[in-house]
Structure 1
Amino acid sequence: MNQQAIIDFIKQSESPKIKYAFTDIDGVLRGKIIHRQKFLDGLEDGFGFCDVVWGWDSSDTPYDNGQTTGWHSGYPDAPVRIDVSTFRQLPWQDDIPFFLADFSPKVDQKANTYALASCPRSLLKRIADQCQQMGYHARFAQEFEWFNFRETPRSLQEKSFLNLEPLTPGMFGYSILRPSLESAFYHDLFDLLARFDIPLEGLHTETGPGVYEAAIMHDEVVRAADKAVLFKTAVKEIAYRHGIVATFMAKWNADLPGCSGHIHQSLWSLDQSRNLFFDASQPNQMSELMQQFMAGQLYCLPHITPMFAPTINSYKRLVEGAWAPTTITWSVDNRTTALRVLNHKEAYTRVEHRVSGSDTNPYLAIAASLASGLYGIRHKLTLDIPASEGNGYADKRNGILPTNLDEATQAMARSSVAAELFGAEFVDHFTRTRNWEWRQYLRQVSDWELKRYFEII
């Protein structure tokens, strides 16, 4: 539907309720339900929303190092605009109308330079516009792995997140048998997500107790990120209906594989008739444009790793032999490298960014993928790094990924490359939030420390 048709539908709807949401810097959906009339009144001038969402972490604890907002500013309302083109209906909530929103800058630009810079969706839209202006149509898709538990939010707290009951036992990747134990949940995921305009290309079990993997169908880059963001919360809400809790932690258990959020990406002609990554005359059928794109991603990766690995836990996944990359590498159809080329057919030729975990903010991870690829095209970088053969973990010729959030954040904070890609204002805000996350971690005493030191040391 076009915008006017959507507005007419809302006006004629029997329900007076509208739900809208946006992601904070961690990728957590924040929003509210408003009355239909408030929605209609706000289409022209937008809405006010407390800007504390840019001044606290995923646990609602205010930052002590923020500049965007804080006690110093009094946490005022910031302007939000609903993007009418994102209209959907929530099929598991009586088809209530749903929209995504963006934070917009105030009229006085000088007084609010961070309003746009700190909004992840606005950042991605800006980079997507750059891509369009360069003459390319970006098509992306993200896939996710996640674990499912027969728990509730209350039981998680009561158990202190210990001795949890996975949905199914044992290691059984690509199982046809295991999903039949929970067929109602399995089919609800596929069917309800499709009705919510998040069609899946595939859904299957991965190796691990109660773990699923889903690949979302590819789309224009901003719409692809919208779908990835909504996918994570939608899965959790559908799981709740079945007495299940879903987790997208990168690594919930040291003895089990982590959860990826791989990003599939390609550039097309503006009329979407040609995949510009494919060239049958080139080695590995990789066009010069594709090679420049990948060279940019590999060059920028050490400068922007926190956008692919944003939490303390992210780096527990990025370890050797755990199906996640640790080196700055690429190869053709090799699951041990940072970038994996898939090019068996022109229509599906793409590069898979395998560093990204399921705990990412999709807007930021996808923005980082696209921006770094465009960097390689703008600077005409050559793919001088030879393709890895065999075990990518052993190929350390071009360096390794940062090993923890602090190391990665410090590199990004001082990087002129990151500032060029995303703007100094965004980099400052984002790295301050990652520094806060690291400092919160340092204050904690872990079970490992208690077991190791309590009696013996």
Structure 2
Amino acid sequence: MDLEKILAIIKEANLLAIRFEQTDTNGIARSKLVLAKHFKEKATKGLNFSLTHLSVDVQINEPVSDTGYAEEIGYGDAVMFPIFETFQVLPWLERTGRILIEPTWKGSEVGGHPRVVARRQLEKLRKLGISLLSAHEHEFYVVDKKTKKPLNDDKNVHSAIRDTPYHDLLVKFMEYLPKVGVDLEHVENEYGPGQLEISYKPAFGIRAADTAHTYKTAIKEIAILNGYMASFMTKPYPNKSGSSSHFNHSLWDIGEKVPLLYDAHDPLSLSETGQYWIAGILAHAPAIEVLMAPTVNCLSRVVPHTFAPVNATWGFDNRTCDLRVKINGPEGTYIEHRAGAAGCNPYLSLAATVAAGVDGIVNKLKLPPHVTGNAYEEADIPPKTVFLPTNMEDALAALTNDDTICDALGKDFIKCFTAVKMCEARQAREAEAKGD
């Protein structure tokens, strides 16, 4: 995809406007509509767009101070440039296209922007001769837009007849998402009331996070246009199932042809590189938890016996562990990083996983024993297993005390992210004190 091809598509599809879209720190899509006749100019010269979006909290109350991207720069504009290969015609919106953008500030890329952070981690991985094949596995809740009543109110998980009342909505998801590059595999209902999971094929490199961003925004828009609301809030109902965003991934050679996780001659069927990678993620699991589960609500999901991991463990096809390893031969072996919550920013969960895994490879970290039983039971986990933080204060402390992860993600990002999250922690304490 290049500029001339996009211009041809705009003309052929008779598009009225193209949405220049980016992620904010919290993973929410922020955009401006550019009239089609001005697309070429904005695509080549850039689009002014406030950097303050990196500083907003999850409640969108006001910009957070001390992020580096708000009052320190006079709430100024970045110049945004589109990534041509992300252009799509949005079939659920009349005569509208979409293209993802990244910011520049005074001619340089913005180190605190989540997509930039993710790209940089993937570039470090590629310097080791490794590429990443990955996909996020999202769960979400759907309710009626007017009544807020969920699609169903039972726990008859995976029941075929349970989908029937809202089949028309599922048809829209299945029809539209493949048209914007999300290659759907299957649709299923989950435990919670109105809880769904729709999985799609993995992709190499940054395209995987772009796909996750596209998926989440598309699901929300398609739902609301059809009389529903879709929510990726991790725990919308305190006493119901949480929604996850497991990060499934595997390692390949730089040419994206040769798988690197599997070793038929190893007792664990895992390559040396794969073992280092897993060890790295586990070594930094407490630090990256706040990137995998980045809100107060997300962290409330970290409870034993809920299929959410609570400690830095791994196991073969073991859903009680942080890392669930699936051995399926050379090309089918992959790792499921289960710490991801539905409310995560997919660019940051990818970046965090890669930053930790790279450290494991570079420093040849030793793989701890795997769990063969229940990782929620102390008797079944290795001695000295560390536990994951369950509140924002502890999660931020774990992150900021891990020099390796902070150095990998960059001081600009860490400053911005921690300021936003400290604000959220304060808001949560104040709300709790008021009884809200």
TM-score for the superposition, normalised by structure 1: 0.90
Aligned partner of 2:141 among 136, 143, 147 = 147
What secondary structure is seen at the aligned counterpart in 1 of 2:105? coil
Alignment partners' CA distance in 2, 1:269 and 1:294: 17
Query: How much has 1:284 moved relative to structure 2?
Result: 2.6
Matched residue pairs, number? 432
Contact 1:375 1:421 in 2 (8 A): no
Q: Which residue of the partner structure matches residue 399 of structure 2?
A: 412
Aligned partner of 1:433 among 407, 420, 423 = 420
Aligned partner of 1:215 among 185, 199, 204 = 199
RMSD: 1.8
What secondary structure is seen at the aligned counterpart in 2 of 1:285? coil
Query: How much has 1:95 moved relative to structure 2?
Result: 4.9
Q: Match of 2:333, as an amino acid?
A: T
Query: How much has 1:45 moved relative to structure 2?
Result: 2.6
Query: How much has 1:78 moved relative to structure 2?
Result: 0.9
The Cα offsets for residues 305-324 of structure 1, whole Å up to 9 and x where unpaired, read as 21011100112111001111
Q: Match of 1:271, as an amino acid?
A: G
Q: Is 2:78 the partner of 1:78? A: yes
Q: Is 2:188 the partner of 1:204? A: yes
Distance 1:13 1:253, change over 3 A: closer
Aligned partner of 2:255 among 271, 278, 281 = 271
Q: Match of 1:65, as an amino acid?
A: S
Q: Match of 1:125, as an amino acid?
A: R
Q: Is 2:118 the partner of 1:124? A: yes
Distance 1:72 1:287, change over 3 A: closer
Contact 2:18 2:97 in 1 (8 A): yes
The Cα offsets for residues 208-257 of structure 1, whole Å up to 9 and x where unpaired, read as 22111111210013111011111111111111122111111111222211
Alignment partners' CA distance in 2, 1:2 and 1:361: 27
Contact 1:263 1:353 in 2 (8 A): yes
Q: Is 2:254 the partner of 1:306? A: no
Give the 5 Å matches for 1:25-424: 25-107=25-107, 116-152=110-146, 164-383=148-367, 385-394=368-377, 395=381, 397=383, 398-424=385-411
Query: How much has 1:11 moved relative to structure 2?
Result: 4.8
Query: How much has 1:64 moved relative to structure 2?
Result: 4.5
Alignment partners' CA distance in 2, 1:12 and 1:170: 47
Contact 1:25 1:120 in 2 (8 A): yes
Q: What is the aligned-residue identity percentage?
A: 30
What secondary structure is seen at the aligned counterpart in 1 of 2:351? helix
The Cα offsets for residues 337-359 of structure 1, whole Å up to 9 and x where unpaired, read as 00000112322111000000010
The worse-fitting range, judged by mean Cα deviation, of 89-98 and 254-263 is 89-98
Contact 1:265 1:351 in 2 (8 A): yes
The worse-fitting range, judged by mean Cα deviation, of 194-203 and 391-400 is 391-400
Q: Match of 1:220, as an amino acid?
A: F
Alignment partners' CA distance in 2, 1:29 and 1:322: 29
What secondary structure is seen at the aligned counterpart in 2 of 1:336? coil
What secondary structure is seen at the aligned counterpart in 1 of 2:376? helix
Alignment partners' CA distance in 1, 2:68 and 2:407: 20
Gaps of 5+ in 1: 110-114, 156-163, 451-457
Contact 2:150 2:194 in 1 (8 A): yes
Alignment partners' CA distance in 2, 1:64 and 1:146: 28
Query: How much has 1:288 moved relative to structure 2?
Result: 0.7
Alignment partners' CA distance in 2, 1:165 and 1:68: 41
Query: How much has 1:72 moved relative to structure 2?
Result: 4.6
Distance 1:66 1:396, change over 3 A: farther
